[in-house]
Amino acid sequence: MKSYLTGNPEIRLALNEDLSIGTSDYGDGEFPVMNYRITQAFKPPFRISTLIEETGPLKAEVTIEVRAEFNSNINANTVLVQMPLPAFTARVNFELEPGAVGHTTDFKEANKRLERGIKKVVDGSEHTLRAKLTFSQELHGNIVKEVGPLGMTFTIPMYNSSRLQVKYLQIAKKSRWNC
């Protein structure tokens, strides 16, 4: 948690029902208000599975499944899945599941990277992408070693994996504090 306040305000912060942090005075500029670490098991908001199969000497198929596993009252926005592909990838044909509205697919030829964008993801939804790869020359070795790692960026407003809740944050104006 960071604060960008100016002056020297007093900050009061209360967390959850049983955890309250007192008051502190901070100076101008950026400063950490609180640092914390999760020491228990963490359940990520998405489960991703990938299957890579060679379908011929110059062809392969990649299947990526993304399953949302977060609270039903929130949505994920601007989800982007990226996967580096073998250097000899010449062409990629994409197949999305039926009814995939607001989804984009792209093959970044310069970077040899596959990208899939999903505008909005709701809890419990599953999104599958099949990509048929065509190579310019035969791969010698295991294609799995040539692909990946898969990366994912997303925004989930009001998502809290640690279950830490801010009950109140109060900024008190002191008499000696000038705006």
Q: What is the pTM of this model?
A: 0.70
Across all residues in the chain, what is the average pLDDT?
A: 80
Question: What's the CA gap between 83 and 89, in Å, rounded?
Answer: 12
- Between 66-80, 100-114, 134-148, the lowest mean confidence (pLDDT) is in 134-148
Q: Which of 163, 138, 159 is nearest to 75 (CA)?
A: 159
The C-alpha atoms of residue 175 and residue 165 are separated, in whole angstroms, by 30
With a CB cutoff of 8 Å and minimum separation 6, the contacts of 153 are: 78, 79, 80, 82
Per-residue pLDDT at 30 = 66
CATH 2.60.40.1170 boundaries in the chain: 46-155
Q: In angstroms, rounded to a whole number, what is the distance separating the alpha carbons of residues 11 and 8? A: 9
Instruction: List Cβ neighbours of 65 (8 Å cut-off, separation of 6 or more).
Output: 48, 49, 50, 126, 127, 128
Contact 33, 2 (CB under 8 A): yes
pLDDT over 70 at 18, yes or no: no
What is the H or E stretch that residue 71 is in?
Answer: none
- Strand 10-15 and strand 126-135: the pairing is unpaired
> For 26-43, what is each residue's pLDDT tens digit?
556 666 666 777 777 778
Q: What pLDDT does 83 receive?
A: 94
Share of residues in the chain with pLDDT > 90 (%): 28
The superfamily (CATH) of domain 46-155 is Mu homology domain, subdomain B (2.60.40.1170)
Q: For 118-164, how does the pLDDT look when each residue is reduced to its tens digit (9 = 90+)?
A: 998 888 889 999 999 998 888 767 788 888 789 999 998 877 777 66
Q: What percent of the chain has pLDDT over 70?
A: 70
